[in-house]
Amino acid sequence: MGRDPNETEPDDERSIADTELERAFAKGADDALAAAYRRYARMVLTFAGRTVGREVAEEVTQDVFVAAWRSRDNFDPDRGSLGGWLTGIARHKVTDALRRSQRVDARVERAGAYADRSPRAPEVDEVAERLLVADGLATLRQDVREVVEMAFYSDLTHEQIAEATGRPLGTVKSQIRRSLGTLRRHLEGLDVTA
């Protein structure tokens, strides 16, 4: 007796349950997103975590499933698996996360470079950067903020700051270094472009 060509074989790459989930997802069935998340979230999290680290990977994983659900009309189960489609979305989201991180790193680096520059007329980009830094400075302790403001706004060297505050040079350097890390984390939270 012949086999129905539309019947799925147990040894096919995709199981019957996966095929049913894919069809339900494409149709926007009520429980399909939750089922897809249960089935594929670990895979997406592992994929993203290898590139951007665990903390960012969790955010990327959420972004992947939100984007997938919003664009589920673009998913065609006959052209590929849901897992493969989600992996493609994850690649884009990981790339976006890396680009955001690079932009934030560049902002912090530029902001830190202000301390080593001699005074000159600020350009528009520098003014915008300084405004972002000022917002971040408000999150620092008063004594640390004082040191960082001397570096950013008065363009004093580390040595000049140590002399002005009476603090050891090593303390001034470490306070500025730790503060740049705090500012970086602050700017990452503000970077909503992508």
Per-residue pLDDT tens over the stretch 44-102: 999 888 888 888 889 999 999 999 999 999 988 888 889 888 988 988 888 888 887 77
Per-position DSSP letters for 135-175, written without gaps between them: HHHTTS-HHHHHHHHHHHHS---HHHHHHHHT--HHHHHHH
The CATH number corresponding to 120-190 among 2.40.50.100, 3.40.50.2300, 1.10.10.10, 3.40.50.1820 equals: 1.10.10.10
Sequence length of the chain is 194
pLDDT tens-digit series, residues 98-129: 887 777 666 666 666 554 554 544 454 555 56
Over residues 115-171, the pLDDT tens digits come to 455 454 445 455 556 566 666 777 788 888 888 778 776 778 888 888 888 889 889
Q: Does the fold of domain 120-190 match that of domain 16-102?
A: no
Close Cβ partners of 15 (under 8 Å, ≥ 6 residues apart): 8
- 111 with 137: CB under 8 angstroms? no
Q: Indicate whether 1 pLDDT > 50.
A: no
CA-based torsion, 5, 11, 17, 18: positive or negative: negative
16-102: CATH class: mainly alpha
